[in-house]
Every structure is written in C-alpha cells, then in structure tokens.
Amino acid sequence: MKQKLTSSVQIILLLALIAVGLTDESYPGKPKIIRCRSLEKETFSCWWKPGSDGGLPTNYTLFYIKDSEEKIYECPDYGTSGPNSCYFDKNHTNPWTTYNITVMATNEMGSNTSDPQYVDVTSIVQPDAPVNLSLETKTSASTMYLWAKWSPSPLADVSTNSHAYHYELRLKPEEKEEWETISVGVQTQYKVAGLQAGVKYIVQVRCILDLGEWSEWSSERYIQIPNGESPPEKPTIIKCRSPEKETFTCWWKPGADGGHPTNYTLLYSKEGEEQVYECPDYRTAGPNSCYFDKKHTSFWTIYNITVRATNEMGSNVSDPHYVDVTYIVQPDPPVNVTLELKNPINRKPYLVLTWSPPPLADVRSGWLTLEYELQLKPEEGEEWETIFVGQQTQYKMFSLNPGKKYIVQIHCKPDHHGSWSEWSSEKYIQIPTDFRVKDMVVWIIVGVLSSLICLIMSWTMVLKGYRMIAFILPPVPGPKIKGIDTHLLERGKSEELLSALGCHGFPPTSDCEELLIEYLEVEDSEDQQLMPSHDSGHPSKNAKLIPKETDSDSGRGSCDSPSLLSEKCRESRALPSALETQEVRDIQENKGGKRSWQTQCIASEQKILLFNNENTKSSTWPTAQLPTNQPPMFAYHSTVDAHKITLSTTNVNITPVLVGNEEKHQSQYPMTETVHDNMVKQRQMENLHSTDQTTAQVRQSRPDDKSPFLNPELMDYVEVHKVRHNEEPAVLLKHKENNGKTEKYTVPGTSKEYTKVSTVVDHNILVLMPDSRIQHASMSQEPPMETSQNLQQGQAEKNMSYSLTVPSECKRETSGSEYMDPSSFLPSFK
C-alpha cells in the first residue's frame, strides 16, 4: 500500500512538474465559428476564427451533426472556401436540415472545441451582388427617363428556376445623402422616370434569394441626366485604313446624341489646300464611316479629317485626325495558302508553302509591295514560330519534326509602312513520320517477306518431301533398254519380269546365271519415273529403315543370284575395289549432300521395295553384286547434268558423258578419283541450281586387263549412250556385242554375255536387257561358283556398306547374256 501511494504521489508530482515546466506551450484556444453562408441555397460554407494556437502547430477539424441523424460527420472540403473554412458542396447540403456545427482545434497538448453553430441553409443564403449595371437615358414622347440594366452574379446558377432573385435599386443625385430605394422585383432592368434634368445620379442594385439575406450593393454607376435638350457629344474618329494603297476608309464613334436624332458629317482638307471637302461616300463602308475612293485618295499628302455631329440643339466636332494614306495601309490577309509536302527522291522531304497576295492589292504594277510573314507551330504547341519571308510568295521548310501536325498562318504588310494584315486562316499539315524509318520499315518488310517465302519453301519441302525435290530436281529417267517393260518392273512381278528378261523359272537356273556378262552401272539422281507409285510421305521414316534394309536386302533377288557367282569373283574381290567403291560412294554422298538425304533414302527405299517384291533370295544376292574388282574393265561414265529448278523435269536432257576406262586395273584408282573431282567441281559450280546428276557407270571387262583377279576373258560391254529424260526414261545402250562376242567366244568358259545394270545410285533405274542370243549357253556352268561368291560377298558387305561398282568379273565370266542386277540398288549410305 505504501509503495502504491508513494508511486502515485510521484506521478502526480511529475505531472505537476510537467505542467509547470511547459507554461508557454498549452492546448489551443477555443475557435469561433464566425459565419455560415450560402450563395445560392445549394451549397454553403462556414468560416471560423482560430483561437490561440498554444504556441504549437494546430489542426482544425470541423464536425457537424444533422438534426435527423446522430452521426458525426467531418467537413467534406476544407480547401474550396479558403483557409479556416469548410465548404459543403451540393451533396452535403440539404436545405431542409439544420446542421449543428463545431470546430475542434487540436495540437500536441490537447484540443479545444468551439461553441456549436446551428445552421439552416435557407436562412443563411446571401447572394453576391448583381453585376454589369448599365445606365442609359432615353427620351420617349418628350419625356426623359433612366434605363437601368444589370445581371445577377455569375456565381449564381440562373438556369434553375428555384432561384428567384429579387432586386432592389437605389439612386440619388450625386451631391445628396439620401438614397431613394425602389423594389424592382425579379426583373433585371428598370425604368426610372421623374428625374431632375441636368443632374448627375448615382445608381446601385442588390438582390435577395428567398428568405435569405440581401446581397451587398453593386458598385456605383453614375449618369448625367441631360439638361432637357442638348447638342450631341463629340464623336471620335477611331481609325482610318487603306486596304490596297489606293482607297481608304475612316470610321468614327458617335458620342451621346443628347436625346435627339443626330447627323454626322465628315470633313477633310488636304495638305497645302485651304478648301474643306465633305466625305464623298458615307455608305460603302457601313455606318459611321467614310469611304474615299481612288479619285479622292492622294498619297504623300496629309489629310486633316474631322467629324461633326449635329442635332436640333447644335453640333459638336471631333478632334482632327491627321492621315497620310501611305502610313495607314493595312492589306487583307493573303489568300490561296497551300501547303504541300515535297518528297524528292534523293533528298529529305520538305514542306512548300505557297500563297497569293490579297486580291485587292495590286502588287504586279509595283505600286504596292507586300512582304510576308508566316508563323507555324505544332498543333499541340504553345508558341508560334514566326518566319519573315520577304516579298516571295512561297517558302520551303526543311526542318520539321516528322509525325507532327503543324498549323500555319500567313499575313502580309506593305514594304515600308502600314501594318500587318490579319492572319490568314489556319492551315494544317501532317508531317509524315521519318522517311528513313519508313525505308527501314520497307526493308524490314522485304526481309520478313523473303524469309517467310524461304520458310514456306523449306516447309513445303519437308512436308512434300521428294515431290518437292523432284520438282526442283527433275528426275532423270531411268535407262530404258529396249524390250524391257518398265511396268513389269514397277509391279514387281518377278516372274513376269524374269520371263520378260528371258530368265524363266525361279529360283534361278543356270540359264540365268549365264546371263551375267556385263554390268551397267547407272547412277541416276531421280527414280521418280520408275517408281511413281511410291509416295514418300514419310521420308524420315524411310531413311531410318534403309540401313537395315540394306543388309536384308542382300537378297534382292534375280535370276542371277547364287548361280551366277563364279569363283573368280572371289579373286576379283580385292581391296582396291573396296576402296574404289568407297570413293564412288563419297562422290554420291557429295552429290546428294545438298539434295538432302531424304531423297536418297526414298530412292533407295523404293529400290528396296521393288526388289523385295521380286522375292529374290536375300542372302545370295548382294554377294553377287559386290565384287567390284573389275574397275579397270568398265567404262566409267559420269554424267552430270545441272538443271535449273524452274525447268520442268520432263524436259531435262541428260547427255551422258562416256568415259571409257581403258586403263588397267591399277589405273582404276585415279580414274575414280578424277570422277570424284569432276563431280565435286560440278557441284560447286552448279551449287545454285539444283543439280541433277546422273552417273552412268558402265564397266567393261577388257581382254587386256592385267588385274590378277580379273578374268582374262573380255566381255562385251555396254555403253550408256543416252539417257533421255523425255517422258519415258530410257537408257540407250549401245552394245558392242560384236566385238565383245568375238573376244568372248575366243575365251573358253565364258561363252555368255551379260549386260547388267548393276547400280542405280540415288534415283536410278535399273534395266536389264537379256542378250537372248547367248543366254542359254552357259547356264549350267555356273552353280559351283555361286557359293564361293556368296561368301565373298558377305565379307564385302561387311567391309563396305554399299558398293557402287557392283559389277563383278565373275558375273561377266559366267554370263553369256544380259541381265538386270538389282543388287546395285543398295542404298549409298549406312
């Protein structure tokens, strides 16, 4: 308890100390609401007088309570009516409510509240004083009266009928003290009669709104009541102007008419002359004016002009006006103002302004010389840019901000004296955005468009696959060997085909084996014509498939498969050949590089399909083909024709170039390389075009071939004479049978000639033409060789994914007839 007591005592002491210590700082004094007033019964304001602020910054808050509610509101607007005031706008003003208003002053020390003020809006209305009070004396029926007019304060909203102002007017002679007050009613004008003539009166008005308070009196107005009847007041010459330096006009302002109709007369005299003339023409230039036509206008002469006002009571003359017409020329504004944006090709665009002098001004004779000035600004601009142009009637503007709209005006002035005309009407011109930007945009558009085109092209290429390729790179028709029905090939009915080829019965018999004599390698980039039925909608898929197919494909059957293989094949399968094939493959890959390997895939797939249909034995086949050891013996033909994309495929003419490879085995290498080089070169040269390359390889075994693996016997060989691409693809083969035969026949064991189209690379056609004459001769001789050949072939396949130079000697050896070797259709890639 004691502790509590002491602590409370301490607190009290502390408080007392603080109170003592802060004597100069205290809570604010009581504010006082001075006045509440409504101007038009729709809004009202209250003002208060602050009390002492207690030495601290003080905030004032106005609270009010409506009589209908308990709620306390705060002032809605402290700003509108000035400091220490609160403005109640329409939403916060209700004429049927009594407001209980208090103002609270607050500072750090505390707060203080004013006495409440009760406000009834209706009773605090006090409008502003009326304005624009004008007085006039008029005479009607020989009685003089005063005509007073005024208007309500502009603050009041007169449009609403709820505000019916009532007016009071008071007047008194200037020297008297008492006012005479007249109740006017709701009108804003009043006629006062019975005034003393010759006395100066002071007049004021005020107004009231409903039950409110009277406004202040308006400002005082004075009027001299004319002394019965008097002469008119002095008129004033306002100005004289010559629009074209040939005629001029003067205007005057009449004074008070003194209650009588008044006549005005303009009189003038010219320098150096005593005579006084009267105005020649009062009418032309309107009322209270005088027009001096050409005859009455002299230059370099001073006119002394006066105007006399006359009524019944007398006359009054204006002050004289001295005019030298030279100096009062003020032309009309220029006309035909045109703005034109010039856009020269190799320069910056500029604005050309042209205009014509005012039609009245005769500038052609040289009598009047005009100078022009133009001003312009951007539409949203504040300041005009003024340009003095001189006497020319056109102006070029070079430095305008692009993308802005400009306003242009022109006025003119005589060269030395006179004054500027009015401005011509405003002309607008939109300056286009920067032309460089525009150019850029054009270029961007061009770029985007071209890239779009490229995109579309590549897209369609991807979508349409080989069709597009075929379109760009027209297909080279397959070699057409007389007597072979291509349709049979397409249909893939092996038996029929075989039979057509003269190889009856399947599995192949010795007959078939004997067919092999020669290989005809035809590389063709297009096989479309051979395989029209193949739709390559899924090139990528095909591409994946192919490598596998290559292996399984080995059995693309034909009659020549195992039986055809001779033992010599083995021998002939030498490393060189492998290398060679690789070379050739390289060539092909190079060739095909640009065409996308899809094409190749498709082509190869097609081949595969074709030969699968033929139901040939997969295992045996490839071996037969792969022995490529015969390089030297074949004429190696590489035909590369370049075609432009735009050329239609059917028109492609391919001229095969026959390269007879007369060299020996060893020389085979260089040969292929040269071919390779050629191809590459060609590719480089014809890069822009889509190249259609057809390579026909015709290998021929030569009797004089010294290769150890080679069969000494020489075969007949076939040259690819022509590869026509016209509609029906065909390879015209030129058989050198006669020679060959003779040679062959001389060698024992090789009594048959084969013509073999061993490879059709890329898009190739394989055509085999049996040489029926020799066909049957050595059929039976072949079987023993077959197996060995197979073995070798298997190895070969492992070594090389693909052998281009399929033809093997063995075949040649064994063959007496021509046949078609599908193994050459192996894809060129793995």
Partner 1 sequence: MSNKGALLKDLLLVVLLVSSMLLTKEGVTSLPICLNGSDSCQVSLGELFDRAVNLSHYIHFLSSEIFNEFDERYAQGRSFITKAVNGCHTSSLTTPEDKEQAQQIHHEDLLKVVLGVLRSWNDPLIHLASEVQRIKEAPDTILWKAVEIEEQNKRLLEGMEKIVERIHSGEIGNEVYSQWEGLPSLQLADEDSRLFAFYNLLHCLRRDSHKIDNYLKLLKCRLIHDSNC
* Residue numbers at the binding site for partner 1 (CB under 8 A): 245-246, 271-272, 294, 297-302, 304, 320, 322, 324, 326, 345-346, 362-367, 369, 415-417, 446, 450, 453, 457, 471-472, 645-646
Per DSSP, the residues of 414-441 read ESSSS-PPPPPPPEEEEPPSPHHHHHHH
Q: Which CB atom, from 27 or from 303, has the smaller least distance to partner 1?
A: 303
In angstroms, give the least distance from the CB of 375 to partner 1: 23
Gap between the terminal Cα atoms of the chain:
108
Pairing of strands 44-49, 85-88: antiparallel
Q: How far is the CB of 424 from partner 1 (least distance, A)?
A: 21
Query: Measured from the CB atom, is 22 or 457 closer to partner 1?
Result: 457
Report the residue number, 241 or 811, with the smaller CB distance to partner 1. Answer: 241
Q: How far is the CB of 652 from partner 1 (least distance, A)?
A: 15
Instruction: Say if residues 752 and 780 touch (Cβ distance below 8 Å).
Output: no
Closer to partner 1 by CB, 324 or 551: give it: 324
Considering beta carbons, is residue 298 or 354 the nearer one to partner 1? 298
Closest distance to partner 1 from the beta carbon of 466 (Å): 15
Tell me the torsion sign for CA atoms 706, 708, 712, 717.
Answer: negative
Minimum CB–partner distance for residue 301 and partner 1 (Å): 6
Question: Whose Cβ is closer to partner 1: residue 138's or residue 416's?
Answer: 416
Residue 591 Cβ vs partner 1, minimum distance, rounded to whole Å: 22
Hey, is 40 helix, strand or coil?
Answer: coil
- Closest contact distance (angstroms) between CB of 359 and partner 1 is 16
Q: How many CB atoms lie within 10 A of CB 494?
A: 25
Nearer to partner 1, 369 or 678 (CB): 369
- Round to whole Å and give the CA distance between 802 and 553: 11
Distance CA 816, CA 740 (A): 11
> Which residue's CB is nearer to partner 1, number 302 or number 488?
302
CB 185 within 8 A of CB 215: no
392 or 742: CB nearest partner 1:
392
Q: Is 92 helix (H, G, I), strand (E, B) or coil?
A: helix
Least Å from the CB of residue 270 to partner 1 = 9
Beta bridge partners of 112: 105
User: How near is the Cβ of 690 to partner 1 at its closest, in Å?
Assistant: 11
Exposure string (b/e) for 607-641, b if CB count within 10 Å is 16 or more?
bbbbbbbbbbbbbbbbbbbbbbbbbbbbbbbbbbb
Helices assigned H by DSSP within 553-614: 561-564, 567-572, 575-593, 597-613
In the complex, least distance from residue 346 CB atom to partner 1, rounded to whole angstroms: 6
Cα torsion 591, 595, 597, 598: sign: negative
DSSP 250-276: EEEE----TTS--EEEEEEEETT---E
**Closer CB to partner 1, residue 145 or residue 420?**
420
Q: Between 141 and 688, whose beta carbon lies closer to partner 1?
A: 688
Nearer to partner 1, 304 or 375 (CB): 304
Distance of CA 136 to the CA centre of its chain: 68
Q: What's the Cα-to-Cα distance from 803 to each of 528, 679, 755, 768, 769, rounded to whole Å?
A: 22, 18, 18, 18, 21
* Residue 134 bridge partners (DSSP): 149
Cβ 662 to partner 1 shortest distance, Å: 43
Amino acid at 141: A
* Min dist. Cβ of residue 444 to partner 1 (A): 14
User: By C-beta, is 363 or 640 nearer to partner 1?
Assistant: 363
Neighbours of 317 (CB within 10 A): 14
391: CB partners within 8 A, 6+ apart: 369, 370, 371, 372, 415
Torsion of CA 526, 529, 532, 536, to 10 degrees: 10
**In the complex, least distance from residue 723 CB atom to partner 1, rounded to whole angstroms:** 24
CB of 272 to partner 1, least distance (A): 5
Nearest to 606 by CA among 512, 535, 678: 535
- Which residues neighbour 403 within 8 Å (Cβ) at sequence distance 6 or greater? 431, 432, 433, 434
The residues, any chain, with a CB within 8 Å of residue 235's CB and separated by 6 or more, are 252, 253, 254, 255, 264, 288, 307, 308, 309, 316, 318
Q: Containing H/E element for 148? A: strand 143-151
Q: How far is CA 514 from the centre of its chain?
A: 75
Within 159-290, where are the H helices? none
Q: Which is nearer to partner 1, 366 or 748 (CB)?
A: 366
